[in-house]
Structure 1
């Protein structure tokens, strides 16, 4: 199958091509994060290719049909990576699932997706086991990998569904984002527009395998470029990452901004201490002010930022050819059509420096097929020829884009709409603050306030009044948090993203001043 024809299989594109061209090249290294000196596993492209095709044949032997959803809950393991690509190789739909899900959360996603299979090391929840779903254990996966098949990659087309990712939406119920095989082609602008990737690179990603950021940046893109992917198992404490980077020989490291901030706080690297690392890559949330400068000052290495979403992955970034411009997230990657639309209005792009919704043209091959069984929500995000994913921003005359937060995260302060990012950026400049996250907190049925949740800088006095006074110098009165709450660490997802929805005031607070 050739990317130049309508026939296209994402697994063949990422693995099969490299297996033909460089079969003995190391494709995957698996390390224990506590002992990163020697890999636990090493796979060549030829071995990956054979294992993926074996797994796809094994799934077919179990009676699965094209389009069946294959739930994958195997943690950050080689089996998880292989099963993801095997599902697509066999014409099925891969369904990566977090191993942090509770039983009820897992059942909700299995039922919503109609999954036919769940590959997991745990027992199926009772309610899930009562419906027709096949459980596949790690031993079953190993047995399928060990069989030998001559079966090739199923001839799928560019627009055939390839994988289904669940993400938190604007409602309390997670929604499935369905991607086509062509999404791999939609990632090509990142290769040089963000990574500057080369075949001799080793890509280390800090995230988990239920996230498009990890599956794309950590696996699909390195393999599509003949590079090596590095996977780490174990408890990924932030203070361990500098040694992991150095010992594994990683040349590219990808993580959310929070991971970089935690590394600088708990295990600050020195210049030359990160081995072969060429530069860092970050996406997933807006970084605190000064993070890029702080990282570069400490390590002497660049840190390139990108903005993306589950529906299209990253599409705006800095990179080796796009230098960082303070206050912005970067430029639209080559070939992307990105504009600003009015928050409420028509589909006509706004003039430079106007604030509104960041929109990408619906012809982008990286754009999702749609939301799984959510036609109404799907219709709401398209406006004419543009997809609007809810990110607010502006584009300057040089093409640099400023990210102004999520439209559904805007806080209401006395009738004014306030972005948490704006308040966080101001307070983060206070010397007494190490990290900060802001949220609108309802303290009574009819009263809500802006609250700042602060991790104090080392040795700093926890003085809420002083932080409010600092905020007064940089923010309009209605933007100043009514409450400043000190916490030891910000709540984060397993991938390191700040969970604003988990922020809550201590019991008894009733600030109506």
Structure 2
């Protein structure tokens, strides 16, 4: 059997369509229900569905009054406040094309984006760095727009451009990824295939408002389901999250693995309302997964995705991961493991790919048709990530193709090495990379954090019980912290420079 998962397509996106209208389609029926609670210590700032939709559509009116026209691109340089998702949906409601970006970007980085995008305006918090642009609309002006009359939703072809996001740049320069309005329709496949989300849920996401993981999983998806989103106020430390989950009766919790790691240091966890946790952003280690389930008695379900297609492989309450696998493609997805000649036999390593017909797949890289075409192999979009598929559709994740290590002629996944080492009681987090010890000679080195430096011989003995000889690190480096990107992902490419062998 070939490594292809295909259980039939998801329902087609209706036309005409507007992403913001879909997200807020329950607003009139649930006018007085809390759509969002910004958690502030013992209290919270509550946004009802009526208040939320009024602010969104008022913002749409204000942006049009500022001279913007449907189809115009607007760069978002806003901070970690509720104004971020409101401006994002307001722009889309009015037919504009927002580009959400991290507040951590520098002015020179935004200058390159402005040259790339040629935006009609920049939505700007003065405290957030940004290069010059002739039309900058301040966050104070955006707040004033909340009170304006509502704009009409700009309905149209679900295939038209809705928003642009930038990749993290881990494989080179960040790319501008263009998404259609239909992308939010495709996110419904996550409800069954990852979340188990219902209108009665209260989903607490530990991320910032201006992170795309929070924007999708923490806000848009709960609102599209008629649920309540819970977001801690900026600066809330992970150690405070258990108390917030209890106090605000969260039923679902979403975060990146690094947050779960810090969360578990808070001590005994009594979370009577929590059904399960959701995890994405980087590979979840088996050790961390087991530690969470032991501490809380709740399941933890992870998802794999990317800027070009959000999450499309995941475990879920209805389909848990098996034997260390990541999960399986969500119902409605068509996914394969490819070699150079097409889908590989079941169990064989290859590149994880998703069919071009997936409604959540990007339109392409903005103004880069050749670069877009290079990511396809026939009708399959190549993620650049390696994996294997079992006969029941479960996919084991092996890491980025460009992260794969080659030591002594063997290809080794850093994920496998890191997972094995993470089980050591003295290791908090592990990273693995091939390092050059003499010209053209590479060995696997393990980099780790923990309370204290461990004896290399003991680590070697620990690894020998869990890894084949060719997979075992030949060197161990204790660090105060592993290099992480702005999105919280481990930067494996930065590890070799830290090697002191």
TM-score for the superposition, normalised by structure 1 = 0.90
SS in 2 for 1:18: coil
Equivalent in the alignment of 1:163: 163
Change (3 A) 1:123 1:494: closer
Deviation readout 1:433-465 (Å, 9 max, x if unpaired):
222111234577756543211112x5x652223
Equivalent in the alignment of 1:153: 153
Equivalent in the alignment of 1:119: 123
Return the offset for 1:494. Answer: 4.5
CA–CA distance in 2 between the matches of 1:442 and 1:133?
49
Greater shift, 132-141 or 91-100, is seen at 132-141
Whether the aligned pair in 2 keeps the contact of 1:207 and 1:495 (CA below 8 Å) is no
Change (3 A) 1:75 1:247: farther
Give the 5 Å matches for 1:169-180: 169=169, 171-180=171-180
Equivalent in the alignment of 1:30: 38
Equivalent in the alignment of 2:484: 492
SS in 1 for 2:92: helix
Whether the aligned pair in 2 keeps the contact of 1:338 and 1:361 (CA below 8 Å) is yes
CA–CA distance in 1 between the matches of 2:498 and 2:372?
38
CA–CA distance in 1 between the matches of 2:163 and 2:72?
10
Equivalent in the alignment of 2:186: 186
Equivalent in the alignment of 2:4: none
Matched positions, count: 491
CA–CA distance in 1 between the matches of 2:254 and 2:421?
26
Give the 5 Å matches for 1:107-506: 107-122=111-126, 128-129=131-132, 132-147=133-148, 149-169=149-169, 171-264=171-264, 266-270=265-269, 273-342=270-339, 345-347=340-342, 349-441=343-435, 448-456=442-450, 458=451, 462-503=454-495, 505-506=497-498
Gaps of 5+ in 1: none
Whether the aligned pair in 2 keeps the contact of 1:98 and 1:209 (CA below 8 Å) is no
User: How large is the RMSD of aligned CA atoms in angstroms?
Assistant: 2.3
Change (3 A) 1:63 1:243: same
Gaps of 5+ in 2: 1-10
Deviation readout 1:64-121 (Å, 9 max, x if unpaired):
1222222222222110010111111111111111111122222222322222222222
Return the offset for 1:480. Answer: 2.9
Return the offset for 1:275. Answer: 4.6
Whether the aligned pair in 2 keeps the contact of 1:258 and 1:287 (CA below 8 Å) is no
CA–CA distance in 2 between the matches of 1:153 and 1:400?
40
Q: Which has the higher contact order (CA 8 A, sep 6+)?
A: 2
Whether the aligned pair in 1 keeps the contact of 2:346 and 2:389 (CA below 8 Å) is yes
CA–CA distance in 2 between the matches of 1:114 and 1:446?
44
Deviation readout 1:317-364 (Å, 9 max, x if unpaired):
11121123131011111111111111xx133x2222121111111111
Deviation readout 1:193-225 (Å, 9 max, x if unpaired):
211111111111122344432221111110111
Change (3 A) 1:123 1:427: closer
Change (3 A) 1:170 1:502: closer
SS in 1 for 2:87: helix
Equivalent in the alignment of 1:74: 78
Greater shift, 217-226 or 405-414, is seen at 405-414
SS in 1 for 2:301: strand
Equivalent in the alignment of 1:7: 16
Change (3 A) 1:502 1:240: farther
CA–CA distance in 1 between the matches of 2:205 and 2:113?
25
CA–CA distance in 1 between the matches of 2:496 and 2:266?
29
Change (3 A) 1:361 1:107: same
SS in 2 for 1:245: helix
CA–CA distance in 2 between the matches of 1:361 and 1:172?
24
**Which of 90, 100, 106 matches 1:102?**
106
Change (3 A) 1:315 1:384: same
SS in 2 for 1:55: helix
Change (3 A) 1:182 1:379: same
